[in-house]
Amino acid sequence: MPPSPTADLTGLSDVTASESSLTRFLHGLPGVDQVGAEARAASLATRSIKTTAKAQALDLAITMVDLTTLEGQDTPGKVRALAAKAMRPDPADPTCPAAAAVCVYPDMVATAKEVLGDSGVHVAAVATAFPSGRAAMDIKLADTRDAVEAGADEIDMVIDRGAFLSGRYLQVFEEIVAVREACARPGSEDAHLKVIFETGELQTYDNVRRVSWLAMLAGAHFIKTSTGKVQPAATLPVTLVMLEAVRDFRAATGQMVGVKPAGGIRTSKDAIKYLVMVNEVAGGDWLDPDWFRFGASTLLNDLLMQRTKLTTGRYSGPDYFTLD
């Protein structure tokens, strides 16, 4: 049986000591009520907030954006422009906060880092054979080390969904542990590890809960819904299940783990729905870019347009902000 929310998990090594013990633990987690989860997510999505709170929510959401470009046609020029935008999303308004990070392929890390410097905007790199996660372990680790050596502050790894769905939980656990070790940077802070589940391929909410606990047991700093390459990507019910998992993990261990929904979040209205859910499900401690992020490429522009509307009373033209 899984521990109660107040249990002492200092003996977690026993849980992960073998395939059978890990399977027993994960399958002992309480099942997710699909109807209940979807109904609660729908209910939370109807909450409205006042204008003053909306202004604060828009600024908070901007600080949580991992501004992302993960295309085969990415160029150094595009990455430099994206990094500049992350630092100054609205060059005409110095009160506009910066984004959290720029997320790129490993070969673009050095380019992004060159622009961002010590601005406080992080460089995140996808790794471990993104987006499929299907590669030999030495290749996955080399991919990670290359990104870290190039200056990545954060690594977004993808799990082997085939292994997870086949019940090879210990293999997935050990891969996450190994990738976290590859995030080490002697002499300075290690890169933080975000673990991508690709929830659109996991079939059930029970699997989302299990993989959330699996990743947290393995040392993930963040758990992330999707690569953005598979549909459905982030959804409110899936994110709700993940927020419940991090809340319960903190209650059980005292350790906080972040959550990153990614893919398909395009509007300010959507972003605010997620922020309401974070507050209601996990709690206000997660309303911080250290603990909640949006993986997005187009969301930032809508946040900026809505912000300008609140400030000036009129919408900006569609060409006012750069297209990403």
Per-residue pLDDT tens digits for 6-59? 344 555 678 999 999 999 999 999 999 999 999 999 999 998 888 789 999 999
Q: CATH number for 19-311: choose from 3.40.190.10, 3.20.20.70, 3.50.50.60, 3.30.1370.100.
A: 3.20.20.70
pLDDT of residue 5: 36
Query: Directed axis angle between helix 205-217 and helix 169-182, to 10°?
Result: 40
Query: Directed axis angle between helix 19-27 and helix 169-182, to 10°?
Result: 100
Per-residue pLDDT tens digits for 57-71? 999 999 999 999 999
Say whether 140 is catalytic. no
pLDDT of residue 311: 80
Count Cβ neighbours within 10 Å for each residue of 213-236 and write b for 16 or more, e otherwise.
bbbbbbbbbbbbbbbbeeeebbbb
Which run of H or of E encompasses 126? strand 122-127
Closest CA to 120 of 234, 284, 290: 290
Per-residue pLDDT tens digits for 153-167? 999 999 999 999 999
- Tokens representing 173? 């656990």
**Which one of the listed residues 113, 194, 260, 273 is annotated catalytic?**
260
Say whether 273 is catalytic. no
Decide if 82 contacts 115 (C-beta within 8 A): no
Say whether 113 is catalytic. no
**Which one of the listed residues 156, 160, 248, 270 is annotated catalytic?**
156
What's the pLDDT band for 304 if we cut at 50, 70, 90?
very high
**Which one of the listed residues 224, 248, 270, 273 is annotated catalytic?**
224
Which run of H or of E encompasses 155? strand 154-158
